[in-house]
Amino acid sequence: EAGVAQSPRYKIIEKRQSVAFWCNPISGHATLYWYQQILGQGPKLLIQFQNNGVVDDSQLPKDRFSAERLKGVDSTLKIQPAKLEDSAVYLCASSRLAGAGTGELFFGEGSRLTVL
């Protein structure tokens, strides 16, 4: 079974520029998550999709971050304009179940963003 795929692995941009990250979850997984992991911290949930609907985006900075899940499969996370404090690893994860789930998430390798 193929794992969660993310791209790009690394991205360096200047502040105020825009960037987009792509995620392809494990086939058949109902729930998709985007987490932000700042160096030295644990992952922080940005947005959670169940199929192609948003179930939690309470910690997504909506003035600059947006995300969509196309046809309940792939997802993109966009930042526009980027700030210095957005430098982090953006982790995509998926889980098999919809609803409350079991907490068993499968993570991709992450996309490391550096904002200069």
Partner 1 sequence: GQQLNQSPQSMFIQEGEDVSMNCTSSSIFNTWLWYKQDPGEGPVLLIALYKAGELTSNGRLTAQFGTTRKDSFLNISASIPSDVGIYFCAGLSRSGNTGKLIFGQGTTLQVKP
Q: Which of 2, 27, 40, 71 binds partner 1 (CB under 8 A)?
A: 40
Q: Token pair 């947006």 is at which residue?
A: 66
For residue 23, the minimal CB distance to partner 1 (Å) is: 11
Q: Which two tokens stand for residue 99?
A: 């609803």
Which residue lies nearer to partner 1 by CB, 44 or 62?
44
According to the binding rule CB under 8 A, does residue 107 interact with partner 1? Answer: yes
Residue whose C-alpha is closest to residue 116's, from 41, 10, 17: 17
Q: What pairing do the DSSP bridges indicate for beta strands 10-13 and 44-50?
A: unpaired
Footprint of partner 1 (CB under 8 A): 4, 33, 35, 40-45, 48, 50, 55-56, 91, 93, 99-105, 107-110
